[in-house]
Structures are given as C-alpha cells and as structure tokens.
Amino acid sequence: MTRSEPGHSRPDPTLSAIMSERRQLINLAYRLLGSLAEAEDVVQETYARWYAMSQQQQEAIESPGAWLTKVASRICLDLLGSARARRERYVGEWIPEPLPGRTEWINGRTGGATADPADRVTLDESINMAFLVVLESMTPAERVALILHDVFRYSFAEVAEIVGRTPAACRQLASSARRRIRASQPPATPTAQQAGIVRNFKQAWEARDIDALIGLLDPEATAIADGGGLASAHLHPIAGGEPIARAFLEVAEKAPDLTLLERTVNGQPGLVAQLDGVTVVVVAFDVAGDRIKHIWAVRNPEKLRPWTTAWRAYP
C-alpha cells in the first residue's frame, strides 16, 4: 500500500491517496458487491470519510491505502448485510452487473497487456460471472474473507480486524468459501476454446438454427435473465438445452434487427446485443468442456450503462 510521507513534502497527502488507491478500491468493492454502481458509491463514501478528518488526523495514519481499504471493506460488509433483503424485493432474477472489457477478444485472445497492474486484476478468474454468482450464495463474512485474503492477499489478522472475527475464524470462513467455489466450478476451459464455442452460438442464434444451438448447450444447462422489472425478461431460470435454444430463437423472432457483437464480458468471451446502436442485452457464458453450462443475460438498462461508455472509449 502507498504510505504517506511525513513532513511537508506533500502539500496535500490526500491527493496521492486518491490517485494511487481509487482503482484498487473500485476493484475490491465490485467483487464484494457485484455492482459497479454500488462500488463507485462505496469509494465515494470512503473518500468522504477521509476528507471529514482533520489534516492532523490524516497525517497520523501511517498507510492511507490500508486505511481506505479497511473503511471501504467495512462499508461493503454493511451493504452486503442488507443486500439480501433488497434482492428479495427485486423483480425477477438478480445477476451481478456485467463488466466491460477494455479490448475486444479475437480468436479467444484479449488485446495487449495493460500498463496498470490494477487493470489486470479485473481480468483474472475472480471477476468472471460464474465466480461472482457463487459469491452471491455466501454469507457477507465469507465473501469478504475470501476476497480480501485470496484475491487481495491480506493476512487473516488484517481480515479479522475488518470483519470483526478472530484470525482463526476468518481462516475458516475463507476455507468454507473456497469449498463452495470448487464444488460449483468445473475445470477451466481454455479461453480460445470458449471463444470458439461462444462464436458458434452467436452464428447459430443469427441463423436461427435450433439444432446447432441445442448442440452447443449442455442438456442440463441453465439460463438466467435479469430485467429488473425495467426490461422484459424471464422471471425464473430456464433449464435444459432445448428450452434455452427456443427462448433465444424467440428473442430473435421478436427483434429481427438485433445486432450481435463478440465482446469481453467480465474477462471472458461473451456477447452484446444492440438495437440501433444501443446495447440492450449483455450475455455471459460458463463453458464446461465443449458445451455451454450456464448463460446469464442482463437486460436491466441500469446495469448496462457502463457498456455505452465503454464502447465509446474502446471501439
């Protein structure tokens, strides 16, 4: 973490903290909450608490970065405690907010490496949709312990201070969370193979070829759509390869002008559907072997706002 230098060599020590820590805080809060909008709110509140302190109080903090992380994590922990109740009132299924990639994927490969290490952290396995969905099944304490320790490499002593448990208890929380992850996720399919399968799905969807779609789907596949009551979507998961294929063909029939684009969704090959240049659906996939096991289709326009900005910035 970035440490504040003593003395008056920096007229505004908070500026350095903001510049060097904000992106990591966004990365942390997004993983904990599954929402980029909520993550940004958490970071804003974290900095508001920093600015509420006097300069003397700020200078007494040895590591502003560690302080900011601790505060942001505690805010997230509080939000997670109330999130379950809020999502029970959500219309239909709730899916974590899809995160745009910075580059298009071509033949299963993303563009060149980014310069900032904090950018790379958004492309690893802890950001993919399947991982985030499993996190939703965990208790808030399990989720925080796993992300802080396994992803951001905080010691269990540091995690304990944030979560309000003993280090031994935090170790158990992380262990329990890992078991959930291992039980829910099959061996990883190489990205190039995923890209080919998703591309074949796109082509079959465009051609309205139901047999090809069924052939790409695991017979026990599930598809979940998130409209949030703001866009039409199935209120319950669809189970089975053939019912899923028929549902996608129904979408194609209702929206014949839909344009499908191959895009990185949460660091993995996915699809974006646009009408008149406006993103209306973002689709994430979980591929096991040579079949699609899970599909998550986000239609809630509030969750698609970052995509319009992303595609302007990264055409």
Residues 6+ apart with CB under 8 A from 261: 271, 272, 273, 274
| pLDDT at res. 189 | 87
| pLDDT at res. 205 | 97
Q: What is the DSSP letter of 186?
A: P
| pLDDT at res. 148 | 94
| pLDDT at res. 38 | 92
Query: How distant, in Å, are the alpha carbons of 19, 20, 183 from that of 2?
Result: 10, 7, 37
Higher-scoring residue by pLDDT: 224, 86: 224
| pLDDT at res. 8 | 41
| pLDDT at res. 12 | 60
pLDDT band at residue 88 using 50, 70 and 90 as cut-offs: confident
Q: What number of H helices and E strands is found in the chain? A: 13, 6
Q: The pTM is what?
A: 0.84
**Exposure pattern of 39-69 as b/e (b: 16+ CB <10 Å)?**
bbebbeebbeebeeeeeeebbebeebbbbbb
pLDDT at 75 over 80: yes
| pLDDT at res. 304 | 94
| pLDDT at res. 197 | 98
pLDDT at 18 over 80: no
Instruction: Output phi, psi for 281, to 5 deg.
Output: -145, 140
pLDDT band at residue 229 using 50, 70 and 90 as cut-offs: confident
pLDDT at 122 over 50: no
Query: How distant, in Å, are the alpha carbons of 32, 181, 200 from that of 131?
Result: 11, 7, 24
**pLDDT, mean over the chain:** 85
Tell me the average pLDDT across 155-175: 95
pLDDT band at residue 264 using 50, 70 and 90 as cut-offs: very high
